[in-house]
Amino acid sequence: MGAPTWPLLIKRRGGRPPSASPRPNAPSQARLGRRTACGFALPRGPAEPWRSSFTGTSGLSRGRAAPADNASLSAMLRSQHRSAGIVVGVDAGGTWVRVRALADARPVASVAHPARAVPELATFLHNLWRRRGWTRARVDALVVASRGVWLPRERRALRRRLSGLARRVNVIADVEAAWHATLGAERGVLVVAGTGSIALGRDARGRWARAGGLGPLLGDEGSAFWIGREWLRATADERARRRFATAPQPVSTVAALAPRVVARARRGHRVAGRIVSAAQAHLAAQASAVARALRLPPPVVVGGAGSVMGDRWFAAGVRSALARAGVRAHWRESGGAPVDAAARLAAALAAGGR
């Protein structure tokens, strides 16, 4: 579990965050399946999605025409209500695709489905629109925060495939939605640890830097997948490892072990404690590398996102590891789930923003 090195990439002011695509939304738990030699069961399917109470924001419409009487005013308002559009935010991470629709700043639909590959995402959303009876004329704006869409051409390609779903469509990276949900316009560092992991930073000049986010083959240190994999390596026999490795979705299946490994570490389990401490140290090292690359002045505003960082005990360990690494940090709690941030960005897009 030696400390890895990460390439850092700095972008100019106004640029997009540097290329990497974590999967920040691992399931919070796994349904029990058959027992394995590693002490945990092989999950049969994804856990129930977390539901947020975030309601979003909206603007006010203005008009000049005045109705002749109260009856006509009531009729006009009823007509406007029937024709009022909706805005939709989508968070397409490595484990879940979450969809939140708002009308008049109130949630009207929340959907969660196991993750789709980027080429399948447009088909999934088109099918969802048909099932819901949504049309382009009814959906004022759609913002999709997806993994695997860092390059401008990748964003343009997905946006073209989604153009028939809403009057206005924007595509961003999934980690950008996590940033908006936690840090907004602030400078600082965001530590994302879900199915995958990445540390993303921005300074006062608008420059971006990142550490990690290289995926399960080359990186994702400290992520749910990394924790689950290290647990299997330390405790499982070859037969159990093979069952996890040959599961239909091996990355998310292994990542689903992480919550219980963290729970065992919290109760004092020696092996789990060693793995979790190493995960916290990896994430702290990534955040420290980003803060130093951007020369962020102390105290550095640091936020956490993703299912692993959503565990308060685990996040406290990352904060302690940051302090040991010499980073004086001010911790910022998340303002909502990435799908809520995507819905809020969709509301701004519908109001004429970007």
Q: Per residue in 211-223, pLDDT tens? A: 988 888 888 899 9
pLDDT tens by residue, 259-313: 999 999 999 999 999 999 999 999 999 999 999 999 999 999 999 988 899 899 9
Contact predicate 242/52, CB 8 Å: no
pLDDT at 17: 58
Q: Sheet of 300-305: strands edge to edge?
A: 208-212, 197-202, 188-193, 300-305, 329-332
pLDDT reported for residue 279: 97
Q: Has domain 83-178 been given CATH number 3.40.30.10?
A: no
What pLDDT sits at residue 14? 54
CA atoms within 13 A on the CB side of 142: 26
Same-fold call for 83-178 versus 183-332: yes
Please tell me the predicted confidence (pLDDT) of residue 302: 94
The pLDDT of residue 73 is 34
Q: Which residues of the chain fall short of a pLDDT of 70?
A: 1-84, 353-354
- The total of other beta-carbon atoms located within 10 Å of residue 297's CB is 11
Sorted by where each begins, the domain ranges of the chain are: 83-178, 183-332
Q: Within its chain, how far is the Cα of 42 from the centroid?
A: 24
**Helix, strand, coil share of the chain (percent; to 5):** 40, 20, 40
- What is the rounded average pLDDT for all residues in the chain? 78
Percent of the chain clearing pLDDT 70 (strictly above)? 75
Helices (H), the chain: 70-83, 118-132, 152-162, 174-182, 215-218, 224-235, 238-245, 250-255, 258-266, 270-294, 312-324, 338-350
pLDDT 10s digits, 311-345 = 999 999 999 999 999 899 999 887 778 888 899 99
In CATH, what number does 183-332 get?
Answer: 3.30.420.40
Q: What pLDDT is stored for residue 64 in this prediction?
A: 33
Q: How far apart are CA 159 and CA 345, in angstroms?
A: 15
**What are the structure tokens assigned to 116, written together?**
């789709």
The number of C-alpha atoms within 13 Å of 82 and in the hemisphere containing its C-beta is 5
pLDDT at residue 150 in the model: 75
10 Å Cβ neighbour count for 260? 18
Query: What distance in Å separates the CA atoms of residue 343 and residue 144, rounded to the nearest whole number?
Result: 9
Residues in the chain: 354
pLDDT score at 216: 84
